[in-house]
Amino acid sequence: MPRPGLRASVTAAFALGALLLSVALSVGTYVLARHLLLEQRERTALRQAYADAALVRSGLGTSGTPVSEVLGGVAPPAGASMYVRQDGSWYSSTLDQSGEDLTEVVRPLVAKGEVGVGWTSRTEPHAVVVGVPLPAVGAEYYEVSVARELDTTLHTLAVALAVGAALTTVAGAGLGRAASRRVLAPLTDVTRAAVDISAGDLERRLRDTHDPDLTALVSSFNDMVDALHSRIQRDARFAADVSHELRTPVTTLTTSLALLERADDLSPQAQQAVRLMSAELSRFRRALEDLLALGRLEAGIDEARVTTTAAHELARQALVASGRRADLLEDLDGPGDAPGPLVLVDRPQMVRALVNLYDNADLHGDGLVGVRVAARGGRAEISVRDRGPGVPEQDRRRIFERFARAGGSRPGTGSGLGLSLVAETVHRHGGDVRCDSTGSGAEFVVGLPLADPLADPLADPAGGAA
């Protein structure tokens, strides 16, 4: 079973604490109340028994008066029975139960000449038994009072305390829930801020707080984000400097090699060397451009350039921009004049990513077979298929890492950054890219969230204004 979360644990702890506290208080209250009520009931029964015993003693003191007549002249309280034991014989005011059985609990004390008070379980509910010795008339008087009202009172008290304990437990759980929400509120703010920052909002900060326990957390988090923002800015400046410093000499070298390739007075060995240098220089230039593009992506998408675009138009532009035939784009499902699925993207970046997929199909997949665009499950999917040997299943995730290769028809021609640039571009647009096998080649599928065609064309894909 999964471990409970912090909120559930805090709620359960409060509920358990409230339950234990309410049970302890309820048990203590019940025991104390029961003790007091029992004492009160015994005192009442004892006073009543003394009064009735005095009447019985007076009646028995009259010469020749039968015991049954004496008991008939005494009016006991409701629910009480009177018993007299004289000369080994028992006399009772009721025929329900034997006095010998009911008075067993106090008879030893009465036999010693003492007043006895006790409880018997031979009645339902229990009854208090009072025994009073009557030595003047040679008799013993017993009065048995069923504590029906006391039993009802204790039952009502127990139910009330149980209900109170249950309500206290529920209140404790509610308090724990509220307390956990209050305690976890700062963590929720940190989580939301971290999500926003990971999505590219580097201006996001935690609000200042006057809570001394949270001041250090807020300050540390904001300082960390400031340091991260500063580092990204430094990396962006470094990328710009590298771009400026390297593009000029690379262009010069490219121009010079182009002149050498057209020269007629070079030996075959020199011509071969020039071709090798030209190929390696092209590879270096491509790697440089891919690295700079990755650096710009990691610095964040320029939201001002995000527009609503038809997915099939992106695929077609990428084919045209890369010098490939536009008929490689297969027909859309549905009417021919339908605009197709719409997406919110930075068009130049997404076109570049698709060109990289097309180039990958040519370099490592024995040529591009076709491109298909469809809408599935709230996403626009652009599928790029090649006729190569396919990608082994264990390499289908690794090939999107930087400088990772899974073989190809012309090894050494790629920069090793093309697919990682595709993955980074698609991820920055809130989408994903995967590699599948079609049985006769590889298929790379780019999934992008669909855009509302009625929405602001400059709306941010994450939901804010561009």
What mean pLDDT is predicted for residues 126-140? 92
d(CA 243, CA 131): 112
Structure-token match 């049970």, residue found: 23
Could you report the per-residue pLDDT of 190-222, keeping only the tens digit for each? 888 888 887 767 788 888 888 887 888 888 888
As a whole-number percent, the residues of the chain with pLDDT over 90 amount to: 26
pLDDT at 464 over 50: no
Q: Averaged over 381-397, what is the pLDDT? A: 83
How confident is the model at residue 456, as a pLDDT?
39
Instruction: Name residues whose C-beta falls within 8 Å of residue 299's C-beta, 6 or more positions apart in sequence.
Output: 232, 233, 235, 236, 239
pLDDT value at position 243?
67
Query: Who contacts 119 (Cβ-Cβ below 8 Å, separation ≥6)?
Result: 105, 126, 127, 128, 129
In this predicted structure, which of 111-120, 241-250, 265-274 has the lowest mean pLDDT? 241-250
The predicted-structure confidence for 334-346, as pLDDT tens digits, reads as follows: 444 556 788 988 8
Confidence of residue 462 (pLDDT cuts 50, 70, 90): very low
pLDDT digits (tens, 9 = 90+) for 280-327: 877 777 777 766 666 666 655 555 478 888 988 999 999 998 888 888
Interhelix angle 148-198/212-261, rounded to 10 degrees, is 30
State the helix-helix crossing angle for 418-428 and 347-364, rounded to 10 degrees: 150
Strand partners, 310: 342
pLDDT at 453: 47
Q: Which domains does the chain have, with CATH numbers?
A: 6-152 (3.30.450), 212-298 (1.10.287), 303-449 (3.30.565.10)
Partnered with residue 92 across adjacent β-strands are 83
Q: Would you state the structure tokens that stand for residue 132, as one six-digit string?
A: 């009073």
How far is Cα 65 from Cα 55, in angstroms, rounded to an integer?
Answer: 13
The pLDDT, as a whole number, for residue 114 is 93
The stretch 111-115 carries a mean pLDDT of 92
Q: Distance between CA atoms of 440 and 385, rounded to whole angstroms?
A: 9
pLDDT at 332 over 70: no
Instruction: Note the pLDDT of residue 141.
Output: 93
Alpha carbons 225 and 232: distance in angstroms, whole number:
10
Average pLDDT in the 350-371 region? 86
% of the chain at pLDDT higher than 70: 86
User: How far is C-alpha 83 from the geometric centre of its chain's CA atoms?
Assistant: 71
> Is the model's pLDDT at 121 over the cut of 50?
yes
- Scan for tokens 């121009």, then name that residue: 255
pLDDT the model gives residue 27: 94
pLDDT, tens digit (0-9, with 9 covering 90-100), for 40-97: 999 999 999 999 999 999 988 876 778 888 888 888 888 888 999 988 888 888 877 7
> Rounded distance, CA 453 to CA 338, Å?
13
How far is Cα 420 from Cα 417, in angstroms, rounded to an integer? 5
| Pairwise pLDDT comparison (359 vs 365), residue with the higher score | 359
pLDDT average, residue stretch 152-174: 93
Res 465 pLDDT > 60: no
Quickly state the pLDDT bin for 331 (edges 50, 70, 90).
Answer: low
- pLDDT score, position 26: 93
Token pair, residue 41, equals: 């009931």
Return the pLDDT at 404.
Answer: 62
Average pLDDT, the chain: 82
Task: Please tell me the pTM assigned to this model.
Answer: 0.50
What pLDDT is attached to residue 402? 67
> Counting every residue, how long is the chain?
466
Please name which of 338, 353, 344 lies closest in space to residue 425, comparing C-alpha atoms. Answer: 353
pLDDT given for residue 16 in this prediction? 92
